[in-house]
Amino acid sequence: MIKPHGSEQLNPLYVQDDAARAALAAEAEGLPSLLLNSAAAANAVMLGAGYFNPLTGYMNLADSLSVAEKLATVDGLFWPVPIVNLTAESGIAAGSRIALRDPNVEGNPVLAVMDVEAVETVSDEQIDFMAEKIFRTLDPEHPGVATFKSLGRTLLSGPIQVLNFSYFEGEFPETFRTAFQIRAEIAERGWEKVVAFQTRNPMHRAHEELCRMAMDDLGADGILIHMLLGKLKPGDIPADVRDAAIRKMVDVYFPENTVMITGYGFDMLYAGPREAVLHAVFRQNCGCTHLIVGRDHAGVGDYYGGFDAQTIFDEEVPEGALELEIYRADHTAYSKKLDKVVMMRDAPDHSKEDFVLLSGTKVREMLGNGIAPPPEFSRPEVAKILMDYYQAL
């Protein structure tokens, strides 16, 4: 199986021994507490689950600035996005041991224990520098920029030990999986070549066929459909609805033992190219050999060019930095001429009118009115789940 990023073995920060975890939980109740923001909590979940291997905790300011500027830590580890614990709280001292409390679960239980190595103040200029590098914009209307700039100016860095996976296991027991669980299942299935498909949306016919195209082109053993389960911007479809829609599509339209439906506990960054590279890093940690990177991957609005998330792998990712490879996808749509879904680049004799193309706004309007999109665009079983959701709003 493909190696994890940056190490020979995966090193999740979740305390897996039951007795050790119980002892740590008991100790945490007597420690000073910090209530995390959702972004820092999501980072803790990803660190605990092994997705952010080989990191041992939150980055300090020097590493955060270096990663933002050069996609590498000060020591040279390739990494695309700062993994930080930014807070507005003060009064925490370097050298202290603190309990990190979960903002997303009632009662704010302890999520992790942190050994605080450094407490640093981040200037507005440094925040802006990082935000512009990560998101390629400082527009406050960009949801990722707005979130990042609101997190606070005190940066806590140091190793963490993770006690649980927040609300993800309880709310998505069939879907949430850690990187180490996914690696184990891939090994159990005997898959060698595995293609990851990232999604924060339900999958339409074009997405479904794109997975098949990638599997066929690469001779892959299986597809990992890996959905984001954390916080989204207003208007995005909730994870439970998306989960139900994707499961129905796979149950009806894919052969057995070709698809793993899983999810991960992270809040969407909407960082376009940088987030695509982060997706590649943590899919390698899952044991995947390839990641589908399509048009406007992890984008929002008009902040990124259609294929910026592909070209960053050519222009900014050093050769050999990742073992995982990307599968480059074009815009995919149903061809009326050919009576099948194709990548538009493979149909140069087509005009726009030869494809079934619907905007997201148009699709939401149809679903809200109880009108199923055409079957060339969306499977009827999937459309039914989405119609029920939109009509209940």
201 is catalytic: yes
87/212 same-domain check: no
Which of 169, 203, 226 lies at the terminal end of a domain, its last residue? 169
143/194 same-domain check: no
Position 13 in a domain: no
Rounded to whole angstroms, the Cα distance separating 251 from 297 reads: 25
Q: Is the pLDDT of residue 269 over 80?
A: yes
295/315 same-domain check: yes
Q: Is the pLDDT of residue 66 over 80?
A: yes
Give the mean pLDDT of 369-376. Answer: 91
48/188 same-domain check: no
How many structural domains are present in the chain? Answer: 2
126/187 same-domain check: no
Which of 111, 143, 169 lies at the terminal end of a domain, its last residue? 169
292/361 same-domain check: yes
Q: Is the pLDDT of residue 236 over 90?
A: no
Mean pLDDT of the chain: 95
Position 73 in a domain: yes
Which of 169, 193, 228 lies at the terminal end of a domain, its last residue? 169
The pLDDT of residue 363 = 87
The residue annotated as part of the active site, out of 21, 153, 200, 364, is 200
Rounded to whole angstroms, the Cα distance separating 259 from 250 reads: 7
Position 277 in a domain: yes
181-222 confidence digits (pLDDT tens): 999 999 999 999 999 999 998 999 999 999 999 999 999 999
275/332 same-domain check: yes
The residue annotated as part of the active site, out of 11, 153, 201, 212, is 201
Position 372 in a domain: yes
111/250 same-domain check: no
- Three state DSSP letters for 243-286: HHHHHHHHHHHCCCCCEEEEEECCCCCCCCHHHHHHHHHHHHHH
Task: Let me know: does 42 contact 105? Beta carbons within 8 Å.
Answer: no
Position 384 in a domain: yes
- 334: enclosing H helix or E strand: strand 332-335
Confidence tier at 234 by pLDDT (50, 70, 90):
confident
Give the mean pLDDT of 34-60. Answer: 98
The pLDDT of residue 90 = 81
Rounded to whole angstroms, the Cα distance separating 122 from 22 reads: 35
Q: Which of 266, 278, 313, 326 is nearest to 135 (CA)?
A: 278
299/378 same-domain check: yes
Position 6 in a domain: no
DSSP string, 15-71: --SHHHHHHHHHHHTTS-EEE--HHHHHHHHHHHTTTTTT--EE--HHHHHHHHHHS
Position 355 in a domain: yes
> Which position has the higher pLDDT, 334 or 39?
39
155/254 same-domain check: no
The pLDDT of residue 74 = 98
102-157 confidence digits (pLDDT tens): 999 999 999 999 999 999 999 999 999 999 999 999 999 999 999 999 999 999 99
191/250 same-domain check: yes
Rounded to whole angstroms, the Cα distance separating 121 from 154 reads: 5
Task: Let me know: does 111 contact 103? Beta carbons within 8 Å.
Answer: no
Show the tokens assigned to 31. 């420690």
Q: What amino acid occupies position 76?
A: G
The CATH number that applies at residue 194 is 3.40.50.620
Position 203 in a domain: yes
> Which position has the higher pLDDT, 164 or 365?
164
Residue 332's beta-bridge partner residues? 343
Residue 100's beta-bridge partner residues? 34, 112
154/268 same-domain check: no
Domain assignment of residue 133, given as a range: 18-169
